[in-house]
Chains A and B, each alone.
Chain A
Amino acid sequence: MRRESNKASLNPDAATLQRMLYYLKLTREAEYRIERVLYRQGKIVGGVFTSRGQEAITVGTAIQLIAGDVVTPTHRDFAAHVIRGISLQEIFCNWLGRVGAPTRGRDGGPHIGDIRRRIIAPVSPVGAWCAVACGAAMALQRQGKGNIALTFFGEGTSARGDVHEAMNLAAVMKLPVVFVCNNNAYAYSMPAEKEYAVESLAVRGPAYGMPGVSVDGNDVLAVYAASRKAIARARGGKGPSLIECRTFRMTGHSAHDAAEYVPEELKRQWKKKDPIDRFEKWLLARRIMTRAGIKALDAAIQKELDEAIAQAEASRLPEGRDTLEGVYCGPECWWGNPSVARGPQSVATH
C-alpha cells in the first residue's frame, strides 16, 4: 500500500477502520445476493445495478457523514444507504417491490430515499440530483451548523448539463457540497475517452473555481483522506470541492449486460486491485483485524443477509390499486418531510 494511505491511516481510528471493512464487505455480499441470486431466481425484476469493485468510493466518503448531512447517492452507492441507517430488510424490500420498502414498490432497486435520514433518492436522468444537492446545501448553509451535502456522479454523467449547472452554482454561492465523481471507466458501453477529452476530471474543479483532486478509487484510505479534506472545507464554509475517484466497473452496466465490449485484459488487471482484498490485507498486516475476526465478520454478514432477505421475501406485495394513492402530498403526507413548515415557524432545526 502506498505512502498516502499510511499517512491517512492516522485519521480513521481502529473502530472506524473496522466499520469501513464491514460496509465494504456488506456491499459486496448484498449485491452478490441481489445480482447473482435473487435476480437469477427471477425474484428481482427490472434493472439491476451494482457497485462491484467501486465500493471503496461510497464507503470512504459516506462513513464521514454526521447527523444532519445530506447525501444524494447514485444507483452504485449501496453503502450510502446502510451507513445512513436504512435497514437491509428495507433495501431488499425495495428490490423486491414490497409495501415495506422506502418507495412502497413505486420505484425499484437502488432508487431509495428517506428524507428523515437525509438520503435523496436518485432518478434515472443521471446527474439531475447534483442540482438538488445544491438546493439542500442552500438550506444547510442557512442553518449554519456546518452540515454538508455529499453528491455522487459517474464520469459519463459528468457530460450532462445538470452537473455543470450544479457545480457552477455551488461555486458561485460557496455551497457546502462535496462532488464525488466515480470514474469507473465505462458508461454503459462508452469508455471514458468518449465522455471527456481531458486526462482527469479533476480539472473540472478549478474550471468552476473549486479544488479538484484525483485519487485511486480502489484505495479506501486514499478516498477517505481526500474526502476528509473536502468535507472539512465545506463544513468550514469555504465552499464546494470535486474529488475524482478512479476505479473500474467490474460488472456490466447492469445485470443483463455481459459487457463484452470491455477487453478481458482490463478486467483481469483491475481484479488484482480489488479494493476489499487490498484493505483486508492492510488491516491484517497492521493487526487491526485478525483472520479469525474477518472470518467471524464474513459469517455475521451472511447471517444478516439471510435474515433480511427472508423477511423481505415474506413481506407483502402492494395491491394494484395502491398505484392511485399518494400522487399529491396532503395534510398527512405519508413518510412526509417532517420539517416541512406549514405556517410561521422558525427555520426548521433537525
Chain B
Amino acid sequence: MPVMTYLDAIRQGIWEEMERDPNVFLLGEDIGAYGGAFKVTAGMLEKFGEARVIDTPICESAIVGAAVGAALMGLRPVAEMQFMDFISCGFDQIVNMAAKIHYRWGPAVPLVIRGPSGAGVHGGPFHSQSNEMWFVHTPGLKVVIPATAYDAKGLIKAAIRDDNPVIFFEHKYLYRRIKEEVPEDDYTVPLGQAAVRREGRDITVITYGAMVWTALEAAAELEKEGLSLEVVDLRTLLPYDEQAVLASVRRCNKVILLHEDTRTGGMAGELAALITEKAFEDLDGPIVRVTAPDTPVPFSPPLEEYFLPNAQKVIEAARRLAEY
C-alpha cells in the first residue's frame, strides 16, 4: 500500500473521481497550467484536458455561481478556492444559491467547494482563517474537514458523490506534514460520521482538523501521568455525529472541546449546548473549551503561536479538569 501525504491523498481522490465519472470537472484559479497554488491539481490538466480542468479569472462569486449552474445541469463541479479565506468573495452564491435551491425548488446541487484553510504557516490574516462556522450555520450545506490522509481521500470522494453542496476544508498545515498508508482502491469515508482516534477513559477531547494531532500529542504526554484521554475526530461538522459525541461523553464523563477556530460562535459552543441538553447527568465536571481567541489570525510567529491552541494548552486544561 503506498504511503501518501494528506495532500497527495486529496489529489488521488479527486483524480479517481475524475476518471470514474466524466461529469466531474474542476474550476478555479491557477488550477490547470499551474497545477494549483499547492499543486493539489498537478497533472490534471494534462490528463483530463481543458474542458474539465478550467482556469478561471479572479471571480470567486462567479466560480461558485457557475458551479451551481453546472450542477443543476447534471455535472458535478469541484470548485477550488485558492485559499479558503477567499470563500467570502463567493459567500452569497454559497448561502443563497447553493444551500437553498434543493429546499426551495427541488433539484440537487451536487457541488464541492474545496481549498486550503487553517493557520500555523505564517500566512497572516487572509491565508490562515478557519471559517467553517459561516457554513455550519447555513442549513442545506455539508461541511467536511478531514484530519488524516486516509480520510482526506475517502471524504473527498464521498463529497464529490454526495448530491448536496459540500464545503471541504483541507488544512494546509497538514498538507505535507502527515502521511500514512492510503489504499489504492476505490473507497469512501461516509459524511456525517465521527471517528474515535484514540480510546480513553478519563477525559474526551472532541475536535477536528489539524487539532486532532494536537490532541493526540497531548494524550501521549498525559499518558505518562496516568491520565487517559480519548480523542474524537468529528470529520464532518454539518451534519455532525451527535451519537458519537454523546457516547464519548458518557464513556469519559469529562470533556474538552478543542478547535483552531476562534472562540465565540465556534463549534465548541454548539457541542457544549448539545452535551448539556442531552448528557448533563453524565458530566463529572464543567465542559472546557480550548480554542483560539477572538481575534483575526496574526502574522508574526510569536503572535500566531500565542493565538493557536497547542498540546501544552490542552494538557493544562486536562490537568485542571482532572481535578474535578
Q: Do A and B share a direct contact in the complex (Cβ within 8 angstroms)?
A: yes
CA gap between A165 and B65 in the complex, in Å? 10
Query: A132-B69, A140-B73, A169-B62 are contacts. A326–B57 as well, Cβ < 8 Å?
Result: no
A333–B108 Cα distance when bound, in Å, is: 7
Distance, CA A137 to CA B59, complexed state (A) = 17
How far is B139's CA from A348's CA once the two chains are assembled, in angstroms? 28
Task: State the Cβ distance, A314 to closest chain B Cβ, in Å.
Answer: 23
A201 to chain B, nearest CB (A): 19
Taken together as a complex, chains A and B put the C-alpha atoms of A328 and B191 apart, in Å, by 13
CB neighbours (8 Å) of A347 from chain B are: 22-23, 74
Q: Is the CB of B61 within 8 A of A326?
A: no
Whether A337 pairs with B97 at a CB distance below 8 angstroms is no
Q: Which A residues are in CB contact (< 8 Å) with B157?
A: none
> Using Cβ atoms and an 8 Å threshold, which residues of chain A touch B107?
113, 115, 333, 335-337, 340
A335 and B105: CB pair below 8 A? yes
Choice from A121, A149, A330 contacting B101 with Cβ under 8 Å: A121
Task: State how many angstroms separate the Cβ of B22 from the closest Cβ of chain A.
Answer: 6
C-alpha spacing A335/B103, complex, angstroms: 10
Task: Let me know if B71 is at the binding interface, CB within 8 A.
Answer: yes
Interface residue? B72 (CB, 8 A): yes
Q: Which of the residues B59, B70, B71 comes within 8 Å of A165, measured between beta carbons? A: B59
B13 interfacial contact with A, CB 8 Å? no
**From A346, which residue of chain B is reached at the shortest CB distance?**
B22
Interface residues of A in 104-123 (CB under 8 A from B): 106-107, 111-115, 120-121, 123
Residue B181 interfacial (CB < 8 Å)? no
A93 at interface by CB-CB < 8 Å: no
Known contacts: A169-B56, A343-B21. The answer to whether A113 contacts B74 by CB under 8 A is no
Interface residues of B in 67-92 (CB under 8 A from A): 67-77, 92
CA distance A124 to B164 in the complex (A): 21
Range for the number of chain B residues in contact with chain A? 35 or more
A99: shortest Cβ distance to chain B, in Å?
A: 13
The count of chain A contact residues (Cβ–Cβ below 8 Å) is: 59
Residues from chain A with a CB closer than 8 A to the CB of B102 are 326-329, 333, 336
Does B104 lie at the interface of the complex (its beta carbon under 8 Å from any beta carbon of A)? yes
A288 in contact (CB, < 8 A): no
Check B105–A107 contact: CB distance below 8 A. yes
On chain A, the residues within 8 Å of B54 by CB distance are: 138, 173
Within the complex, what minimum Cβ distance (angstroms) separates A179 from chain B? 13
Interface residues as binary, A304-328 with B (CB distance below 8 Å gives 1, 0 otherwise): 0000000000000000000000111
A60 to B: closest C-beta gap in Å: 24
Q: A102 interface residue, CB < 8 Å from B? A: yes
Q: A341 to chain B: which residues have CB within 8 Å?
A: 21, 23, 74, 76
Determine if B66 and A131 form an interchain contact, defined as CB atoms under 8 angstroms apart: yes
Residues of chain B in range 219-247 having any CB-CB distance to chain A below 8 Å: none
Contact yes or no, A139 B65, CB < 8 A:
no
Contacts A335-B106, A339-B74, A348-B23 given; indicate if A327 touches B140 (C-beta within 8 A): yes
Contact B61 A162 (CB under 8 A): yes
B266 on interface, CB distance cutoff 8 Å: no
Residues on the A chain within 8 Å of B103, using CB? 106, 326-327
CB contacts under 8 Å to B, within A150-187, are 161-162, 165-166, 168-169, 172-173
With A132-B69, A328-B140 known as contacts, the answer to whether A106 contacts B21 (CB < 8 A) is no
Q: Are A334 and B106 in contact (CB under 8 A)?
A: yes
Interface membership of A344, Cβ < 8 A = yes
Name the CB-closest residue of A to B98: A132
Give the complex CA separation of A166 and B60 in angstroms: 10
Extra contacts, 15 of them, besides A128-B61, A135-B68, A344-B21 (Cβ < 8 A), are A107-B105, A131-B62, A132-B68, A135-B65, A135-B73, A138-B70, A139-B73, A165-B59, A169-B56, A327-B102, A328-B142, A329-B110, A339-B74, A340-B163, A344-B20
Residues of B within 8 A of A (CB): 20-23, 51, 54, 56-57, 59, 61-62, 64-77, 92-93, 96-97, 100-110, 139-140, 142, 161, 163-164
Q: List 6 A-B contacts (CB under 8 A).
A: A125-B92, A128-B92, A139-B70, A173-B54, A329-B102, A347-B22
Question: A-B pairs with the 8 shortest C-beta distances?
Answer: A135-B69, A131-B65, A335-B106, A339-B74, A135-B66, A139-B73, A165-B62, A337-B107
